[in-house]
Every structure is written in C-alpha cells, then in structure tokens.
C-alpha cells in the first residue's frame, strides 16, 4: 500500500467516523449515564485519531504502514464504540 492509498483510507475512515459521531451527538441527550461515559472516552480517542490521521501523509513511507495500521485499529475501536452507543439509544 502506498502513501496515497493510506492517506485515502484514513481520510475515508475519518469521514465515516465524523458522520457517525455527528449523528450520535444529535442524540446525546437521550443517552443514559453509562453511554455518556463511554461517549466521553470515545471523544478523547476520536480527537487523537483525527490528529494522527492528519499526519499520515507526512510520515516517511517505511513507517507509514505502522502508523496506518495503528490508525485502523483505533478507527475500528471508535466504530465499535459508536455502534454500542447507537444500540443503547
């Protein structure tokens, strides 16, 4: 996978996560306290993911794969967390 593909993949994942995040944020007032706590934890992880996703293009190609894999794992964790919250709504 080349840098352009990694950047494209991280941008796509960021776009999907942002949409899910924005949708859930609209319904936040309906969440119970446990879901709100999980939401706050996911918000912190989302901010970290967003910051790291924006630097993928600047990473040297030899370490870009490691960064992309780490971003993928965090993105998947965020996605699963958003799904848990959506199910609790």
pLDDT digits (tens, 9 = 90+) for 9-23: 888 999 999 999 998
- Looking at per-residue pLDDT, the higher value among 89 and 11 belongs to 11
pLDDT digits (tens, 9 = 90+) for 36-86: 888 899 999 999 888 887 776 666 555 667 777 888 888 999 999 999 888
Say if residues 24 and 39 touch (Cβ distance below 8 Å). Answer: yes
CA torsion 38-43-46-47 (nearest 10°) is -150
Q: How much is the pLDDT for 59? A: 63
For residue 89, what is the enclosing H or E element? none
Domain housing 69: 3-88
Domain count, the chain: 1
**pTM, entire model:** 0.62
pLDDT at 88 over 60: yes
Residue 43 pLDDT: 93
Segment 48-57, tens digit of pLDDT: 888 887 776 6
């Amino acid at each position: 996978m080349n840098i352009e593909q990694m950047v494209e993949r991280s941008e796509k994942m960021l776009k999907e996560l942002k949409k899910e995040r924005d949708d859930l944020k609209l319904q936040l007032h309906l969440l119970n306290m446990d879901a709100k706590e999980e939401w706050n934890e996911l918000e912190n992880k989302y901010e970290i993911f967003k910051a790291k996703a924006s630097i993928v293009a600047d990473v040297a190609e030899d370490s870009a794969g490691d960064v992309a894999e780490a971003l993928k794992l965090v993105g998947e964790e965020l996605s699963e967390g958003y799904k848990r919250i959506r199910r609790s709504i």
